[in-house]
Amino acid sequence: MDDNPLQCAQVEMQLQQVGLQNITHAYSAHDALQKLRQQRHQIVILDLDMPETDGIQFINQLASEQLSPMLAISSSCSQRLLSSVGMMAKEKGFSVLGSFPKPFSSIQAHNMRDLIMAKAEITHAPQAKEKANVFDAASLCQGLRDDDIKAWFQPKKSLRTGHIIGAEALVRWIRADQEILYPGAFLQSIKHHDMEYELLLKMLGDGLQAHVQWQKLGYRIPISINLPVTLLKITDLPDKLHAITTQAGVQPEAICFELLEDDVLDALAVYHMGASRLRLKGFGLSQDDFGLGYSSMYNLISTPFTELKVDKAFVTDAWRDKIRAAALTSAIRLGHELKMTITAEGVESEQDMAFLRSIDCDCAQGFFISAAVDPERFAKMLLN
């Protein structure tokens, strides 16, 4: 999509030369939308600076009509503007191949083809934009009681050795018909019915059981568990979690609680008391989704974190985005200065892995390594 016919013709020629076919062109956002409504397209390459309806408005219209092709931005706009638009598109649920400065060249066409192939090879879990279902408290209680709502585990790999050195417990709901529900479908219902504490205990119990199971195979795999910051209002929460952990025969050092950065308490004293007592009990403490909240730096220096997890928005494809690469490099350097282990989330390609190694990141998680799996499949990954 470009208002310049010569630009459209050049892009079409370059894409055909690298083996991409069935290409349609449009000289306006209105024309592009009409063609997308009539026939499904896998990819849209768009300029931003368009007359009448610009490329940013066009992306918003795609989202409102639930059209979801992969997007690539070919524009002469500044890199910071391109990065901002890319972030907006990702927040709206689009897979963004990247931004390609004009004029579109054969090298860019080859890069785009490689990116398309890489995206096709990654099996993605359903995204957070999936419409949330509304479940009553009785259904949720039964799901927890019957072990239908349970923890699956996403491996964390060392970038230095390539070995699996940790696992994050992620909740899944296995329905009676074997349909797998992902968190976006039911976490809001959990929150609505004030059942986050019950879910935390379930995830901890499953994590402890998996840890013991893998230890019998000869692997000591630390478990990371998401802990909603609002639960720190429970003054004896660290004591309860410590008692459950030690009764299972597991040392607290083997459990790391991840605190979401943009999930805050009104009373900061309560937050700091809860976080500090968790560390005092020996648990690890991770700053999750670093970079998305409004108080990143303050949280980082005022909370006794042992790990910094950089959000996927800064990680995925940072190797070809100078601005995000600079932010990611700075975050890793800062985390190391504060004596933290640095984990990058959202690793989706070998290029992501190689770039993280080059800037001295410690660990990585993401679909390129593995999606979350059940404890038995995780055990097979360890043995292989």
What residues contact 130, with CB distance under 8 A and at least 6 apart? Answer: 182, 184, 185
Of 144-158, 264-278, 301-315, the range with the lowest mean pLDDT is 264-278
- Report pLDDT digits (tens) over 224-259: 999 998 999 999 999 999 999 999 999 999 999 998
pLDDT bracket for residue 24 (50, 70, 90) = very high
Model confidence band, residue 178 (pLDDT cutoffs 50, 70, 90): confident
Instruction: Kindly report, residue by residue over 350-384, the tens digit of the pLDDT.
Output: 999 999 999 999 999 999 999 999 999 999 999 98
Yes or no: domain 5-121 corresponds to CATH 3.40.50.2300: yes
What average pLDDT does the structure give for the chain?
A: 88
Residue 132 has a pLDDT of: 54
d(CA 132, CA 22): 35
87 and 109 Cβ atoms separated by less than 8 Å: no
CATH 3.20.20.450 residue ranges of the chain are 137-383
Q: Counting Cβ atoms within 10 Å, is residue 32 exposed (0-12), middle (13-18) or buried (19+)?
A: buried
CB neighbourhood size of 191 (10 A): 13
Q: Are 17 and 23 in contact (CB under 8 A)?
A: no
* CATH 3.40.50.2300 domain extents, the chain: 5-121
Largest pairwise CA distance in the chain? 71
CATH of 137-383, one of 3.30.1490.70, 3.20.20.450, 2.60.40.680, 3.40.50.2300: 3.20.20.450
The type of residue at 301 is I
Helical packing angle, 183-192 and 137-145, nearest 10°: 110
